[in-house]
């Protein structure tokens, strides 16, 4: 359904370091990086799988509370995502485990440096 999503962040370099670590366990990597020199100017970074950048970070001046859930193919990947997020300085917002949203909904939640609630979810039978 989605083509891409753009998530506003207040410090693009900090967020790039964070998301590089956070999304690696999901097989999602940074495909495009445009960081303007100095503090001004538009900067963004596009992450994806299979060559399509579907998740973007862009410089913004305000914090927000966006929620984005990434798909994970295994429960181990969900746990690795959560551990990577904590190691990268993210805040725990719910450890890896089954949630009552749907059958086999195995998810973990990390608050990113801007306050966004980032999730990895595996819907496969465990």
Partner 1 sequence: MLDHMGFPAVDYEKSKAFYDKALAPLGIEVVMSVSAEETGGDAFAGYGSDGKPDFWVATGRPAGEIMHFHVAFAAKDRATVDAFYAAAMAAGGRDNGGPGLRPHYHPNYYAAFVLDPDGNNIEAVCHKPE
Provide the β-strand partners of residue 93. Answer: none
* Binding range to partner 1, per CB under 8 A, among 32-40, 64-72, 81-89, 90-98: 64-72
Q: What is the closest distance, in whole angstroms, from the C-beta atom of residue 86 to partner 1 in the complex?
A: 21
Confirm or reject binding of residue 70 to partner 1 (CB under 8 A): yes
With CA atoms as reference, report the closest residue to 112 among 12, 5, 39. Answer: 12
Q: Which residues contact 12 (CB under 8 A, 6 or more apart)?
A: 35, 43, 44, 45, 57, 58, 59
Confirm or reject binding of residue 66 to partner 1 (CB under 8 A): yes
**Token pair of 99, please?**
């949630």
Q: What is the closest distance, in whole angstroms, from the C-beta atom of residue 76 to partner 1 in the complex?
A: 17
Contact criterion met (CB below 8 Å) for 126 and 104? yes
Confirm or reject binding of residue 126 to partner 1 (CB under 8 A): no
Confirm or reject binding of residue 93 to partner 1 (CB under 8 A): no
Length of the chain: 126
x-marked contacts with partner 1 along 16-35 as a string, rule CB under 8 A = ----------x-x-------
* Binding range to partner 1, per CB under 8 A, among 11-19, 30-38, 51-59, 85-93: 51-59
Confirm or reject binding of residue 79 to partner 1 (CB under 8 A): no
CB atoms under 10 Å from CB of 82, counted, come to 25
């Amino acid at each position: 359904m989605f083509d891409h999503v753009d998530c506003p962040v207040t410090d693009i370099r900090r967020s790039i370091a964070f998301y590089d670590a956070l999304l690696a366990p999901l097989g999602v990597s940074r495909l495009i990086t445009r960081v303007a020199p100095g503090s001004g100017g538009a900067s963004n970074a596009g992450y994806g799988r299979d060559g399509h950048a579907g998740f973007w970070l862009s410089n913004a001046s305000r914090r927000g509370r966006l929620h984005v859930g990434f798909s994970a193919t295994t429960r181990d990947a969900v746990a690795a995502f959560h551990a990577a997020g904590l190691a990268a300085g993210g805040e725990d917002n719910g450890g890896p485990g089954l949630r009552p949203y749907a059958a086999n909904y195995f998810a973990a939640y990390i608050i990113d440096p801007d306050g966004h609630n980032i999730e990895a979810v595996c819907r496969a039978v465990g």
